[in-house]
């Protein structure tokens, strides 16, 4: 049982790379990309061929697989942006072509075994493969989350996210939405192919059909992750949530095999699992509504519970007010600092921090509240400047 759960955990880490790739295309870019299954299998095939036939190490083979996946994403993006083919059809066309390309890459072999060859976790000596995969999986997913978080916080990354939120408005703001779609799909499929390369090495074999069901697994992981950690939270936490969703999905999948479910029921159980994952947001909403209904009923019926609930609400209100005041003070302090900052780089850093703080404040408390904070900030800045002037006058 322990090894089954640990194996599912390891697979979840490696499949989480695919889930993040699916998250980029479906959530950030709002592009229904079906290239996923093709780029996943091609990534595994490219890595397997390089390792088995050319003697490459697993890590550089993964990097080449990542580039190959980016090419697959580029083809889908060009079909959509340059030839004006619908997103779903663009993905289907590329997916169909990828089956042949994957077979050609594998020299028309149905599968390629990866035994007694240097894999991505082989550089850790004297350790069982299951633990070596765990360590490498944690390192790889941590690096990917850090890089994706950093990139989508840059100007280009923000433009890609803006395209997904509102393409017309982004175009009106001068963003070349065709280019952002191309870059977004290249990144998405590059990550998916990297996942394919890692999974192929973890399984010890790569096949031209290994991508079947990859899109379902990716979407299920994203939905489970967003249910655990809502998407309106910190972007890094959202990526962590997607990773956790992938781990949960793979552990459940591994347990289905462990308990001996007949092979013909595997796909059915997968479909049921995905349906449950899709229903999780609705179930969560229903549970919250039921909890509120019971809370109101018990307040009216039980005086002791009403007193406890009132204390609980007061504590929550105080905590929320403290958080609001802390964020408002942060905006005020940063705005005061930037006016006295002479270093250009430090001023730009402060400006980014102010923008993020204001965006977070407006999202939580509304634009009207933000205007009040900005007025207070302006008044505080004037007072500080006036105080400094008075000091200078006294010194003179």
Residue-wise pLDDT for 278-288, tens only, equals: 787 788 888 88
pLDDT-derived band of residue 388, with 50, 70 and 90 as boundaries? Answer: very low
pLDDT in tens, 173-196: 889 999 999 999 999 999 999 999
pLDDT-derived band of residue 70, with 50, 70 and 90 as boundaries? Answer: very high
Distance CA 33, CA 94 (A): 10
- Most confident stretch, 103-112, 209-218, 224-233, 328-337: 103-112
pLDDT the model gives residue 372: 76
What are the boundaries of each domain within the chain?
A: 2-260, 271-301, 303-395
Distance CA 228, CA 219 (A): 14
pLDDT in tens, 131-159: 999 999 999 999 999 999 999 989 899 89
Give the mean model confidence (pLDDT) for residues 71-84: 95
Please report where in the chains the tokens 């909890």 appear, as a residue.
291
pLDDT in tens, 1-34: 777 888 889 999 999 999 999 999 998 999 989 9
pLDDT higher than threshold 60 for residue 387: no
Give the mean model confidence (pLDDT) for residues 214-237: 82
Residue 36 CA neighbour count, 13 Å, CB half: 26
pLDDT the model gives residue 234: 79
* Percent of the chain at pLDDT exceeding 90: 44
Q: What angle do CA 100, 103, 104 make, to 5 degrees?
A: 85
pTM here is 0.76
pLDDT the model gives residue 395: 40
pLDDT the model gives residue 231: 61
Cβ(94)–Cβ(79) under 8 Å? yes
Longest dimension (CA), the chain: 90
Distance CA 85, CA 93 (A): 10
What phi and psi, each to the nearest 5 degrees, are found at residue 206?
-125, 130
pLDDT higher than threshold 90 for residue 51: yes
pLDDT the model gives residue 32: 87
State the chain's mean pLDDT as an integer.
86
Distance CA 339, CA 383 (A): 13
Q: Cα–Cα distances in Å, from 72 out to 21, 33, 35, 69, 144?
A: 13, 11, 7, 5, 20
Q: 3-state class of 111 per DSSP?
A: strand
Protein fold of 2-260: ABC transporter involved in vitamin B12 uptake, BtuC (1.10.3470)
pLDDT the model gives residue 226: 84
**Position with higher pLDDT, 364 vs 142:** 142
**Position with higher pLDDT, 381 vs 94:** 94
pLDDT the model gives residue 380: 60
Cβ(36)–Cβ(24) under 8 Å? no
Give the mean model confidence (pLDDT) for residues 307-317: 89
pLDDT the model gives residue 396: 40
pLDDT higher than threshold 50 for residue 354: yes
């Amino acid at each position: 049982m322990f090894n089954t759960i640990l194996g599912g955990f390891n697979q979840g880490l490696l499949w989480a790379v695919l889930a993040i790739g699916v998250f980029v295309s479906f959530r950030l870019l709002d592009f229904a990309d079906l290239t996923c299954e093709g780029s996943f299998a091609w990534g595994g095939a490219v890595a397997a061929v390089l390792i088995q036939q050319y003697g490459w190490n697993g890590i550089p083979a993964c990097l080449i697989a990542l580039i190959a996946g980016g090419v697959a994403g580029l083809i889908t993006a060009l079909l959509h942006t340059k030839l004006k083919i619908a997103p779903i059809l663009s993905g289907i066309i590329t997916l169909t072509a990828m089956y042949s390309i994957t077979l050609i890459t594998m020299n028309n072999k149905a599968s390629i075994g990866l035994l007694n060859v240097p894999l991505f976790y082989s550089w850790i000596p004297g350790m069982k493969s299951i633990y070596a995969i765990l360590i490498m999986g944690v390192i790889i997913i941590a690096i990917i989350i850090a890089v994706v978080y950093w990139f989508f916080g840059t100007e280009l990354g923000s433009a890609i996210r803006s395209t997904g939120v509102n393409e017309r408005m982004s175009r009106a703001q001068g963003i070349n939405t065709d280019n952002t779609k191309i870059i977004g799909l290249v990144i998405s499929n590059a990550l998916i192919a990297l996942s394919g390369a890692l999974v192929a090495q973890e399984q010890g074999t790569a096949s031209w059909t290994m991508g079947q069901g990859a899109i379902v697994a990716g979407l299920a992981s994203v939905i489970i992750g967003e249910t655990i950690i809502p998407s309106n939270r910190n972007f890094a936490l959202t990526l962590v949530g997607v990773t956790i969703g992938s781990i949960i999905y793979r552990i459940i999948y591994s347990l289905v095999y462990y308990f001996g479910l007949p092979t013909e029921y595997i796909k059915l159980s997968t479909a049921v699992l995905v349906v449950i994952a899709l229903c999780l947001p609705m179930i969560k909403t229903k549970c919250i509504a039921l909890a509120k209904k019971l809370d109101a009923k018990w307040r009216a019926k039980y005086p002791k519970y009403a007193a406890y609930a009132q204390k609980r609400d007061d504590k929550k209100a105080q905590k929320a007010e403290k958080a609001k005041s802390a964020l408002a003070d942060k905006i005020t302090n940063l705005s005061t600092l930037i006016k006295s900052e002479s270093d250009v780089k430090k001023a730009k850093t402060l400006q980014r921090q102010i923008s993020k703080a204001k965006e977070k404040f407006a999202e939580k408390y509304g634009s009207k509240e933000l205007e009040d904070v900005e007025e207070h900030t302006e008044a505080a800045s004037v007072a500080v400047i006036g105080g400094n002037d008075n000091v200078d006058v006294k010194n003179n």
